[in-house]
């Protein structure tokens, strides 16, 4: 992309610029719903300059975008910085309120669709999709200016007024669906806990052939006992704060879950075809995500004292006496709310507390606070 003073061109149309200066982008022209749009590449260093965030003080009905959630930016920026040789950002979509002109390379075929997009420097650029990416790029550039020479795809539309821009935002987000967490874990090769969970799912006798690798919810008739996302969160809770190499983490997690397996006879009954997975999930809660997460948290407190198997294995023995049946009224209000298993943070903590009590373990200050509120009958 270049920033140049406007030069005379042979055309009947009015000049693009109103200030005498313009942005020039190599671009491809397309048509959607009878409207022209242009796809180009923009250097990251110009993203904060061209796309300014100055609508936050306006009321929602006068904006064409949501307000930037600043809490999301550190993680997005860290993603860029930590993976500067391997990050991927999708295109920004923007409307241009100002003079914009496309000069095609020729009047026919491919040359008609490719050319140079000229935009007046006093034009106003409005991001319809990608404002958090834009803000994260600005944050990352402050720490690593070398990123400024890299580029991101930008799709430019002519600005047709506030109502049209608001409709574009609604349409771009109307059908956006986050992928199931399980498939995200399956495809994530950066996250150590994701790697551990995938290895357990393929290698451990407890999980092999019984983990749903793509969906994060199991149908009533599914032959799987666990989802990959549930195994991931349980293992993540188990390993949290432990300084282990990937191979060590995998071996320790496998040893832990295989120890848990010995305390839960229904798991092996499913593998031995004495009980169906559907029946087990229907009648017991120990294969649900809340149980794996709670077991992971309990295990983490034991492993923080010592990762030696001989240390924590004996302490888990009392788990054999826990009644995991959904008919056990102790679970109501803890793991079960209104007859349904709940995975909320509070329910996970209450389930952890219940298991700690059976294992003779104390509660943290936060766990005690949640427990006291539960016993008082508070929400």
CA distances to 225, 257, 277, 286 from 222, rounded to whole Å, are 8, 22, 7, 16
14/73: higher pLDDT: 73
The 10s digit of each residue's pLDDT in 127-178 is 888 989 999 999 999 999 999 999 999 999 998 887 887 787 788 777 777 8
pLDDT for residue 2: 52
Enumerate residues 6+ apart whose C-beta is below 8 A from 313.
Answer: 259
- 242 touches 186 (CB < 8 A): no
DSSP string, 252-310: HHHHHHHHHHHH-HHHHHHHTTSS-HHHHHHHBSTTSHHHHHHHHHHHHHHHHH---HH
For the cut 70, the answer to whether the pLDDT of residue 49 exceeds it is: yes
- Tell me: the pLDDT tens digits for 6-42? 333 333 334 454 556 899 999 999 999 899 999 999 9
How far is CA 212 from each of CA 57, 157, 217, 231, rounded to the nearest angstrom?
A: 46, 42, 8, 10
Per-residue pLDDT, 306: 80
Mean pLDDT of all residues in 105-134: 90
> How does pLDDT run across 220-230, given as a tens digit for each residue?
999 999 999 99
Instruction: Of 176-180, 279-283, 339-343, give the lowest mean pLDDT range.
Output: 176-180
298 or 56: which leads in pLDDT: 298
Distances (CA, A) of 213 to 49, 152, 153, 229: 43, 32, 32, 8
The pLDDT of 366-373, averaged and rounded, is 93
Check residue 177 and give its pLDDT.
74
Q: Could you give the angle at the alpha carbon of 12 between the alpha carbons of 8 and 15, nearest 5°?
A: 45
pLDDT at site 56: 57
> Which contacts qualify for 260-264: CB closer than 8 Å, 24 or more apart?
260/206, 260/295, 260/299, 260/316, 260/319, 261/205, 261/206, 263/316, 263/317, 263/319, 263/320, 263/322, 264/319, 264/324
Q: pLDDT tens digit string along 173-195? A: 777 778 889 999 999 998 999 99
Per the prediction, the chain carries an average pLDDT of: 88
Provide the residue count of the chain: 379
Using an 8 Å Cβ cutoff, are 23 and 3 in contact?
yes
- E-strand ranges in the chain read 2-5, 21-32, 35-43, 92-97, 100-104, 114-120, 124-129, 151-158, 211-212, 226-227, 336-337, 340-341
Q: Which pLDDT score, from 0 to 100, does residue 379 have?
A: 53
**pLDDT band at residue 52 under the 50/70/90 scheme:** confident
The C-alpha atoms of residue 136 and residue 164 are separated, in whole angstroms, by 26
Q: List % helix, strand, coil for the chain (3-state, nearest 5).
A: 45, 20, 35
126, 102, 132: which is closest to 28 by C-alpha? 102
């Amino acid at each position: 992309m270049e920033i140049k003073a406007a030069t005379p061109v042979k055309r009947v149309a009015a000049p693009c610029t109103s200030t005498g200066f313009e942005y020039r982008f190599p671009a491809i022209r397309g048509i959607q719903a009878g409207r022209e749009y242009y796809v180009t590449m923009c250097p990251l260093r110009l993203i904060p300059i061209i796309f300014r965030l100055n609508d936050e003080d306006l009321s929602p009905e006068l904006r064409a975008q949501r307000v930037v959630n600043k809490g999301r930016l550190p993680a997005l920026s860290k993603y860029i910085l930590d993976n500067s040789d391997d990050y991927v950002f999708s295109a920004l979509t923007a409307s241009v309120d100002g003079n914009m002109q496309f000069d095609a390379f020729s009047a026919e075929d491919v040359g008609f669709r490719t050319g140079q997009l000229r935009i007046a420097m006093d034009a106003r650029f409005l991001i319809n999709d990608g404002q958090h990416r834009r803000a994260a790029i600005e944050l990352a550039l402050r720490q690593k200016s070398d990123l400024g020479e890299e580029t991101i795809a930008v799709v430019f539309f002519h600005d047709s007024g506030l109502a049209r821009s608001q409709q574009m935002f609604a349409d771009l987000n109307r059908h956006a669906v986050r992928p199931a967490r399980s498939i995200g874990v399956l495809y994530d090769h950066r996250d150590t806990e994701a790697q551990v969970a995938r290895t357990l799912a393929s290698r451990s006798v407890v999980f092999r052939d019984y983990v749903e690798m793509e969906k994060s919810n199991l149908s009533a008739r599914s032959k799987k006992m666990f989802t990959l996302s549930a195994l991931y969160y349980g293992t993540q809770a188990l390993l949290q704060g432990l300084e282990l190499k990937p191979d060590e983490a995998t071996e320790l997690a496998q040893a832990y879950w295989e120890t848990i397996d010995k305390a839960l006879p229904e798991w092996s009954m499913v593998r031995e075809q004495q009980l169906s997975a559907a029946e087990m999930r229907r009648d017991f809660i120990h294969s649900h995500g809340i149980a794996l997460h709670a077991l992971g948290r309990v295990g983490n407190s034991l492993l923080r004292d010592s990762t030696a198997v001989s240390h924590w294995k004996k302490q888990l023995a009392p788990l054999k006496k826990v009644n995991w049946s959904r008919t056990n009224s102790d679970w109501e209000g803890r793991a079960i709310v209104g007859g349904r298993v709940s995975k909320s943070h509070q329910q996970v903590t209450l389930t952890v507390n219940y298991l700690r009590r059976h294992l003779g373990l104390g509660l943290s200050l936060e766990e005690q606070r949640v427990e006291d509120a539960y016993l008082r009958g508070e929400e």
